């Protein structure tokens, strides 16, 4: 019986391009949601609590998807799960454009989240296993940089499409990646490290248990803390970003313009993180960029001038997304091949719980009358906790060969 190892792998650049475009479509969907929330609040007269639930239901789906599809990736292969998740979030995203009630919209956003939550850790695992150790971290961070491209697309679609033609047209555009899945089925090989005979002999429960075995428990604890804190703060801040700008006194058009400017800073954040990660190491990049995120969040929350808001918002985007790239490079490197998808998926799933709580917390605190500066101060503290976890529990994996 032929194994996947006998198939000719794609070149590094082609693999990065194929996986990166799918990653870009994911970001486009998440990015558009932040603008859609602001638009829906005006059209459907949503309360801050209801606005928070839109972001949180997406993260509930992502938590379920990361766990379910992460463990399945170690059973049936990375490519199959990559395909399924891509189609799931694309179709559900397109259908959500047809809804007329908040309940129906929330149900479909759950399925969108499932697809997104499953695709991201599986894609990073696939790329991580397919690239040589000496440039593995850099390539995975570059994969993450496609997220910035997706956010830029979402900001452009929001500014030129949603403001002029409505949020429904913007969401329909997010359904287009479903067609791209057909191209992926033909072009994308599975991970050269994934061996079906070996993984099929192991149960899903055994894989999940091994993630917390004595050898990997410290690594798992570190990842779970970092993932929770990073996702909690990211979705709490960025899904509310256009709405926060409105709360600070800008109209919807101006808030979209300023968020677009802030989004541009994501690209240099990724590129500098990609350059540093093979030179200074994973821990250095994660700690440095997370501390930069914490400081930027503190300044952004208390900024009372347009210049201060834009500059601190750009630094927030720069540092936060660079840290995301390092985290996606770091996570798969903690485990051997047979439990790599499970370990990465479980960590991402725990992180998505933070993504559920973050937007809800903002909605609750805004309703209760708390200042934006206080709310962003909470996210600052959360990020510092993540820094301490990496500092004291993390091990350096720079250019280490994967088991």
Instruction: Give alpha helix (H) positions in 130-216.
Output: 133-157, 163-165, 167-173, 177-187, 196-200, 204-211
Say if residue 6's pLDDT is above 50. no
Position 185 scores a pLDDT of: 65
CB neighbourhood size of 364 (10 A): 15
> Do residues 70 and 220 touch, judged by C-beta distance below 8 A?
no
- Rounded to whole angstroms, the Cα distance separating 265 from 263 reads 5
Position 33 scores a pLDDT of: 83
Confidence of residue 196 (pLDDT cuts 50, 70, 90): very low
- Rounded to whole angstroms, the Cα distance separating 302 from 256 reads 20
Look at the block and give the residue holding tokens 């001038």: 305
- Rounded to whole angstroms, the Cα distance separating 177 from 120 reads 15
CB neighbourhood size of 198 (10 A): 12
- Rounded to whole angstroms, the Cα distance separating 233 from 140 reads 22
Considering only CA atoms, which of 291, 296, 287, 288 is closest in space to residue 237?
296
Could you tell me which residue, 156 or 55, shows the higher pLDDT? 156
- Say which residues have a Cβ less than 8 Å from residue 6's Cβ, sequence separation at least 6: none
Position 200 scores a pLDDT of: 55
Mean pLDDT of the chain: 85
Domain locations along the chain: 12-187+204-393
Q: Which tens digit of pLDDT belongs to each residue from 66-123?
A: 999 988 988 888 888 888 888 898 889 889 999 989 999 999 999 999 998 888 888 8
Longest dimension (CA), the chain: 66
- Rounded to whole angstroms, the Cα distance separating 203 from 95 reads 35
The CATH number of the structural domain formed by 12-187+204-393 is 1.20.1250.20
- Rounded to whole angstroms, the Cα distance separating 305 from 253 reads 17
> Do residues 255 and 41 touch, judged by C-beta distance below 8 A?
no
Say if residue 43's pLDDT is above 70. yes
Position 272 scores a pLDDT of: 94
241-255, 295-309, 377-391, range with the lowest pLDDT: 241-255
Q: What's the rounded mean pLDDT across residues 283-309? A: 92
Position 163 scores a pLDDT of: 79
Q: Using CB atoms within 10 Å of the CB of residue 196, give its burial: 0 to 12 exposed, 13 to 18 middle, 19+ buried.
A: middle
Say if residue 376's pLDDT is above 90. yes
Could you tell me which residue, 247 or 186, shows the higher pLDDT? 247
> Do residues 194 and 77 touch, judged by C-beta distance below 8 A?
yes
Q: Which tens digit of pLDDT belongs to each residue from 324-363?
A: 989 988 999 999 988 988 999 999 999 989 988 888 898 8
Say if residue 5's pLDDT is above 70. no
The values of phi and psi at residue 398, to 5°, are -60, 120
Could you tell me which residue, 373 or 1, shows the higher pLDDT? 373
Q: Which tens digit of pLDDT belongs to each residue from 216-265?
A: 999 999 999 999 999 999 888 887 777 777 777 777 667 777 777 887 88
Position 388 scores a pLDDT of: 98
Residues 259, 303, 382, 242: is their CA dihedral positive or negative? negative
Q: What's the rounded mean pLDDT across residues 141-167? A: 84
Helix (H), strand (E) at residue 222: helix 217-238
Does this model's pTM top 0.85? no
């Amino acid at each position: 019986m032929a194994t996947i190892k006998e198939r000719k792998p794609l070149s590094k650049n082609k693999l990065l391009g194929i996986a990166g475009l799918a990653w870009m479509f994911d970001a486009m969907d998440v990015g558009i949601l932040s603008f859609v929330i602001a638009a829906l609040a005006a059209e459907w007269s949503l309360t801050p609590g209801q606005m928070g639930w839109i972001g949180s239901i997406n993260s509930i789906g992502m938590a379920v998807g990361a766990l379910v599809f992460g463990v399945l990736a170690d059973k049936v292969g990375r490519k199959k799960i990559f395909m399924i998740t891509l189609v799931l979030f694309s179709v559900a995203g397109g259908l959500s454009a047809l809804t007329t009630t908040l309940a129906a919209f929330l149900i479909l956003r759950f399925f969108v989240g499932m697809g997104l939550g499953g695709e991201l850790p599986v894609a990073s695992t696939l790329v991580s296993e397919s690239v040589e150790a000496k440039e593995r971290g850099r390539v995975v961070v570059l994969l993450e940089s496609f997220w910035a491209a997706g956010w830029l697309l979402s900001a452009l679609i929001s500014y030129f499409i949603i403001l002029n033609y409505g949020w429904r047209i913007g969401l329909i555009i997010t359904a287009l990646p479903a067609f791209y899945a057909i191209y992926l089925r033909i072009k994308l090989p599975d991970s050269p490290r994934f061996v079906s005979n070996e993984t099929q002999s192991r149960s899903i429960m055994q894989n999940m248990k091994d993630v917390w075995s004595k050898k990997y428990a410290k690594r798992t604890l570190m990842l779970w803390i970092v993932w929770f804190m990073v996702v909690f703060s990211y979705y709490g801040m960025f899904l509310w970003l256009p709405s926060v700008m409105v709360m600070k006194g800008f109209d919807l058009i101006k808030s979209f313009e300023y968020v677009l400017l802030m989004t541009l800073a994501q690209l240099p954040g990724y590129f500098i993180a990609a350059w540093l990660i093979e030179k200074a190491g994973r821990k250095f990049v994660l700690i440095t960029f997370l501390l930069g995120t914490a400081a930027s969040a503190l300044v952004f929350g208390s900024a009372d001038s347009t210049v201060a808001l834009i500059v601190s918002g750009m630094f927030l985007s720069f540092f936060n997304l660079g840290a995301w790239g390092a985290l996606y490079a770091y996570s798969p490197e903690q485990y051997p091949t047979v439990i790599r998808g499970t370990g990465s998926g479980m960590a991402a799933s725990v992180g998505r719980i933070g993504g559920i709580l973050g937007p809800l917390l903002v909605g609750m605190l805004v309703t209760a009358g708390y200042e934006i500066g206080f709310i962003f101060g909470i996210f600052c503290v959360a990020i510092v906790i993540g820094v301490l976890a990496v500092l004291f529990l993390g091990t350096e994996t720079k250019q280490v060969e994967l088991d």
